[in-house]
Amino acid sequence: MKKNKKESIILGPMLKKLALKIGAKVMLEPTWGIVGQITFKNGKRSYFRFNTLDLNPVGSSDIAKDKDYSNFFMKSMGYPVVPNSKTFFDSNRAKALDLLNRDIDSGYVHAQKIGFPVIVKPNSGSQVVGVCKVFNKSEFYRAVKTVFKSDRIVIVQSPVSGKDYRVVVLDNKVISAYERVPLSIIGNGKSTIKELILLKQNNFLISKRDTQINIDDPRIKEKLKRQGFTMNSILDKDTKVFLLDNANLSTGGDSIDVTESVHPEFKKIAINLTKGMGLRICGVDLMIQGDIKEKPSKYWIIEINAAPGLDHYAKNGKAQEKKVEDLYFEVLKHLEK
């Protein structure tokens, strides 16, 4: 699929720069700049598309892209996955599959059974597109409608709470870990919430972070409403308000690097899970009640990602960009093997 040419993808240019250090060459397709070929000194060739590199086997990668399938295998290996997770289809697909008990109305019954609020999200995809925490029937059906614009399968599951982390594993080693904090604003006693959001968006542009905050996102309006605010509310000075329930960087979340403080047991969990799923590189998303520097007590595997893009993390600042360069340099050396 062709992507907007103006979209900033860091992987290609970064690999092109890093390849020179090991005598390799990177050829980028010139029109879109999102696919490329790496030729190493020994003549070996490797390819990439967006953030997907040649490290992972096709079967394992495809399963990782499917949240329901990956949950099945992770659960079978004894990992704690998000509870009460179940897939449902739009009416036409459910009928075609002769699974009328898995249509969206059945999904609503499931939501009632496990109790609101529930999480509604697409079965595939990344960057939390379509992920929504819903509290009632109207929000449920609206969220499902949004999911079906990009996916044929919707997951309904119980929410879990705690600190949200991504741990990136490369060949038996944790190479990156960061806490993800949901999109938020801080009041100054003068500006409306809408003005503060626009100010945050402008700060993203100044810092060359290309995250776009959708000010019309119904999830933001619902989140504000539940906290007693509207877009026209003026926040007291230093009052912090979260605008989304998810903590993904692509939706405006912030990151806190914790690579050096991950508890050895959490490192072991992430590394073993990556190997168990047949992957060499993997982003393991964890929700932890407590802190990642502490010995594991209660936590859940939210999902795994076989192509953990680091674009948004790299655009958080120069230090983060340098860290991502170091990580991709390690990836490049592993690709050569």
Tens of pLDDT, residue by residue over 185-195, are 999 999 999 99
pLDDT of residue 127: 55
Share of the chain above pLDDT 90, in %: 76
Which of 274, 280, 330, 268 has the alpha carbon at shortest distance from 304?
274
pLDDT of residue 312: 63
Which of 125, 68, 335 has the alpha carbon at shortest distance from 248?
125
Tens of pLDDT, residue by residue over 233-253, are 999 999 999 999 988 887 888
Provide the token pair at 292: 């990642």
Tens of pLDDT, residue by residue over 147-179, are 999 899 999 999 999 999 999 999 999 989 999
The rounded mean pLDDT for the chain is: 91
Which of 182, 179, 208, 183 has the alpha carbon at shortest distance from 196?
183
Provide the token pair at 57: 């086997």
As a whole number of angstroms, the longest Cα–Cα distance in the chain is: 62
Most confident range (mean pLDDT) of 1-5, 76-80, 180-184, 255-259 is: 76-80
pLDDT of residue 5: 37
Helix (H) or strand (E) holding 59: helix 58-65
Q: What is the mean pLDDT of residues 308-337?
A: 81
Which range among 18-32, 57-71, 150-164, 309-323 shows the weakest confidence by mean pLDDT? 309-323
- Determine contact, residues 53/281, Cβ cutoff 8 Å: yes
Angle between helices 67-76 and 58-65 (to 10 degrees): 100
pLDDT of residue 154: 97
Which residues face 122 on adjacent strands?
Answer: 154
51 pLDDT higher than 50: yes
Share of the chain above pLDDT 70, in %: 95
Q: What is the mean pLDDT of residues 88-96?
A: 92
pLDDT of residue 1: 35
pTM higher than the cut 0.75: yes
Provide the token pair at 30: 């010139």
pLDDT of residue 91: 87
Which range among 13-22, 175-184, 314-323 shows the weakest confidence by mean pLDDT? 314-323
3 pLDDT higher than 50: no
Q: What is the mean pLDDT of residues 33-54?
A: 93
